[in-house]
Amino acid sequence: MSGSKISELRLDHVSRGFGEVLALDGLDLTIEGGEFVALLGPSGCGKSTALNCLAGLLPLTGGSITLDGRRIDTLPPEQRGFGMVFQNYALFPHMSVRANIGFGLKMAKVGKAEAQRRVDEAVRLVQLGDHAAKFPGQLSGGQQQRVAIARAIVLEPALVLMDEPLSNLDAKLRLEMRTEIRRIHQTLGLTTVYVTHDQEEALSLADRLVLLREGKVQQVGPPETVYTEPANRFVAGFMGYRNELELPVSPGSGTAVGDKTVVLGDLTGTRREDLGETAVAAIRPEDFTVGDGPNAMEVDVEVVEFQGREQAVQARTAGGDELHLRVQARLAPGDRVTVSVPPERVLVFAADSPAAPEEVA
Amino acid sequence: MAAPAAPATAGRIALRHRLADRGMDRTLLLLVPAVVFIVALFIYPFVYGLQLSFQPQPGSETVQRYGSGPFADYHAFFADSYLRNTIWTTLKLSLPAGLFNVIASVPIAYRMRGKFRGKRTITTILVVPITLGTVLTAEGLLAFMGPTGWLNRLLIDVGIVDHPVRFTHNYWGVLFSLIISGFPFAFLLTLSYLSGIDPTLERAAATLGAGWWQRFRFITLPLLAPGLAITFCLTFVLAFSVFPSAVMVGDPSGTTRVISIAAFHAAFEQYDYSMASAIAMIMGAVELIVVGLVLGWRASLYRGASGGKG
């Protein structure tokens, strides 16, 4: 472990507007040295804007960025000393793999012998030994990605920025490179900011997640917390709480039992924020179990998808609500079964808080 | 009755498929107009001119001095310094004009790529000279840069010079006119080559510590160089065949007696078509040598994909 070169990167109310639209609206974030932070959100949430602002490729329209107390948001990208991995890799097509990786060292006027040693080290780290003399056009997508990563980390930058680096790879390579990125982060301990729209990627890689929506932070926290205790309906939807049941809150029935537990009609759940007139109960498909238990409800099975150990089931409640379940029990379309879910896994949000967009829900 | 016909049909279909595999199908007919055009307007006149250049015209000065062998006209051209020097005179105009047009178009195109307000207007203004004929350009140059033109009046009024500066009817007049008519071509070509270079490459270089000059020097320029070579070849060839402006704003009997004037002189004043053809062939050969050298250098460069999304 070589450890991080910085102790603290502070973003104070960082904003960036395009014309009338605020792509990034007052982002406050403090990143500690060695941390792996993922900016997560649907497309257009401002995560790439935030990354480009950090890299210096986009000027801020408001706020400031300080690195260990030194203000850096006024510096051009070449003076920030951050490494960046681009979505399309942006490898220099006219340079060999070695020349690509060594480009930053050449710009920094590192001596020939020293540069050679560090390029060798980086090539070894990303396991590209056999391909070092090739040109980017001769490499596969995964290999190009390795070059891009090696090029960004060879300078041991204060901060590594990654802009959806895995989105151009196929599913198998994506898993492989994900492990690779995690391994490199564990080896070098470089402070990293990682942008993605894939919650699984963010959860598996990051020490801390920042969820963004329309340029505003929705929740910041470690993966575990964001996964089990989403702050609002949007985060819940993004984190895989696919079932959203709208329920009326009447003064009589919607009484809070204890501090957090609420009873809404037949459903008992855990309140996550102040409720208005209607509430939304968000439930993860895998939190349902078949059989009697708390919050038992009878459903008609409509569609069944085989998914190995489990089945993904689409069912309908007596009230006509659609439910998504992931259960181990083998069900068939047309079955009428009773399912249940523990109250602590039923998260209740105010209905007027914004939902996650459809494609990721 | 039907039985014997079937194999024949099958054979015909098979032949058609075999031809289609080699890229031969009816869409090839679309090439006919182009082939007719090239044969009628390029290959035939070229071959005709080539054979004419090997048949010195009876009774001409060439035959009297160098005999009627097939290379007599070529011999005459290179033996006469007045003719021979037209090659250098033309190169002295066309090489600087080609180089200037390419070099000047790079920074302007560099600034003009990407989207911004007014880009279309600026591009239009830069490209307008293409639509003006060389004659109009020459007239404009005479009016603007002549001894009593606006430019000289301005220079005198401001007090930079005492007497009008000679910009026309000399080497400079022709060079200006070549730049005015050649620059738009160079600019448009360079702009399209530049737009083909993925802008994230420069951003990547910036995050790796490269300042603007280093980004240009190590990333953009190497990727642009093959395109610049082609651009140079085209503007050079355009400039090498200069004729109207060499006559109108130049010094056609002296410093701007370019090779096409020599060919014109042979053909329409001496009525020696063989000599004129020989000069035209020499003109083509010189152009080919220069273009060949440039393309040879280009072959040593990286010419693969230069990014672009996906």
Structural domains in chain B plus CATH codes: 83-299 (1.10.3720.10)
Residues of B in contact with A79 (CB under 8 A): 209
Place of tokens 């014309």: A19
Say how far apart CA A51 and CA A58 lie, in whole Å.
Answer: 9
Q: SS3 for A68?
A: coil
Please answer whether residues B152 and B165 qualify as being in contact, where contact means their C-beta atoms are separated by less than 8 angstroms.
yes
**Nearest chain A alpha carbon to B224:** A94
The residue of chain B nearest to residue A90, with distances taken between CA atoms, is B201
Dihedral sign for Cα A104, A105, A107, A112, please: negative
Amino acid at A274: D
Residue of A nearest to B226 (CA): A94
Residue A266: how many CB atoms within 10 A of its CB? Answer: 13
pLDDT at site B276: 95
Contacts of B206 in chain A (CB under 8 A): 56-57, 76-78
A213 vs B216: CA distance, rounded Å: 37
Query: Chain A partners of B203 at a C-beta cutoff of 8 Å?
Result: 55, 57, 77, 84, 86, 90
CB contact under 8 A, A107 and B214: yes
Task: Specify the pLDDT at position A209.
Answer: 95
Query: How high is the pLDDT of residue A255?
Result: 55
Looking at residue A249, what is its pLDDT? Answer: 77
pLDDT interval class at B122 (50, 70, 90): confident
Distance of alpha carbon A256 from alpha carbon A262, whole angstroms: 5
* Number of CB atoms found within 10 A of residue A81's CB: 20
Question: B207 and A92 in contact by Cβ < 8 A?
Answer: no
Contact by Cβ (8 Å): A237, A229? no
Give the three-state DSSP class for B75.
Answer: helix
Q: How far apart are CA A121 and CA A102, in angstroms?
A: 11
Q: Which residues of B touch A91 (CB under 8 A)?
A: 204
What residues in A contact B298, CB-CB < 8 Å?
none
| CB-closest option in A81, A82, A92 to B201 | A92
Sign of the C-alpha dihedral, residues B207, B211, B214, B220?
positive
pTM for this one?
0.82
Element (H, E) at A79: none
**CA B202/CA A92 separation, integer angstroms:** 9
Min Cα separation B128/chain A (Å)? 33
- Interchain contact, A94 vs B223, CB within 8 Å: yes
Beta-bridge partners for A245 = A281
pLDDT at A250: 67
Mean pLDDT confidence for B15-27: 83
**A77 and chain B in contact, CB less than 8 A:** yes
Q: How many residues does chain A have?
A: 361
Q: Which long-range contacts (CB under 8 A, 24 or more apart) does B142-145 make?
A: B142/B168, B142/B248, B142/B249, B145/B173, B145/B176
- Provide the token pair at A347: 């998260």
The Cα B104–Cα B215 span in angstroms is: 19
Which conformational region is residue A251 in: left (phi greater than 0), alpha (psi within -120 to 50 degrees), or beta?
Answer: alpha
Say what the pLDDT of residue B1 is.
42
Decide if pLDDT at B11 tops 90: no
Please name which of B266, B185, B256 lies closest in space to residue B227, comparing C-alpha atoms: B185
The total of other beta-carbon atoms located within 10 Å of residue A106's CB is: 16
What distance in Å separates the CA atoms of residue A312 and residue A326, rounded to the nearest whole number? Answer: 5
Distances (CA, A) of B57 to B103, B147, B162, B267: 44, 44, 53, 11
Question: Tell me, what's the pLDDT at A253?
Answer: 52
DSSP single-letter state for residue B269: T
SS3 A307: strand
CB contact under 8 A, A90 and B305: no
Cα–Cα distance list, A350 to A210, A277, A321, B303 (Å) = 21, 8, 18, 59
Q: Do B208 and A88 touch (CB under 8 A)?
A: no
Res B2 pLDDT > 50: no
| Nearest-by-Cβ selection for B200 from A76, A77, A86 | A86
Out of B207, B302, B305, the one facing A77 most closely (by C-beta) is B207
Of the candidates B198, B204, B218, which has its C-beta nearest A84's C-beta?
Answer: B204
Give the residue with greater pLDDT, B164 vs B74. Answer: B74
Specify whether the CB–CB gap between B52 and B273 falls below 8 A.
Answer: yes
Per residue in B259-283, pLDDT (tens digit) is: 999 999 999 999 999 999 999 999 9
Give the minimum alpha-carbon distance from A99 to chain B in angstroms, rounded to a whole number: 11
Q: CA A102, CA B208: separation in Å to the nearest integer?
A: 10
Instruction: With H, G, I as helix, E, B as strand and everything else as coil, classify residue A327.
Output: strand
CA distance B12 to A130: 52
Residue type at position B201: L
Rounded to whole angstroms, the Cα distance separating B64 from A43 reads 84
Structure tokens at B307: 């990014």
Complex prediction ipTM: 0.84
Q: Tell me the Ramachandran region of residue A90: left when phi exceeds 0, alpha when psi lies from -120 to 50, beta otherwise.
A: left
HSE value, Cβ hemisphere, 13 Å, CA-based, for A54:
32
Across the 361 residues of chain A, what is the mean pLDDT of every consecutive 10-residue run?
A: 74 92 91 94 91 94 93 93 93 95 95 95 90 93 92 93 91 90 92 94 94 93 94 90 83 59 80 80 92 90 92 91 91 92 90 66 37
Whether A146 and chain B come into contact, CB under 8 Å, resolves to: no
Radius of gyration of chain B (CA): 26
* A56–B210 C-beta distance less than 8 A: no
Across B90-104, B153-167, B197-211, B285-299, least confident range:
B153-167
Confidence of residue B5 (pLDDT cuts 50, 70, 90): very low
A residues 331-350 lying closer than 8 A (beta carbon) to B: none
SS3 B169: coil
Yes or no: say if A271 and A262 are a contact pair by the CB < 8 Å rule. Answer: yes
Q: For residue B214, what pLDDT is reported?
A: 95
Asked if A59 reaches chain B (Cβ–Cβ under 8 Å), the answer is: no
Contact assignment for A81 to B218 by CB distance below 8 Å: no
CA distance B123 to chain A (A): 25
**Mean pLDDT of the residues in chain B:** 89
Spatial contact of B171 and B255, defined as CB atoms under 8 Å apart: yes
Contact A88 B198 (CB under 8 A): yes
CA neighbours closer than 13 Å in the CB half-sphere of residue B111: 7
Please give the residue of chain B at the shortest CA–CA distance from A54: B207
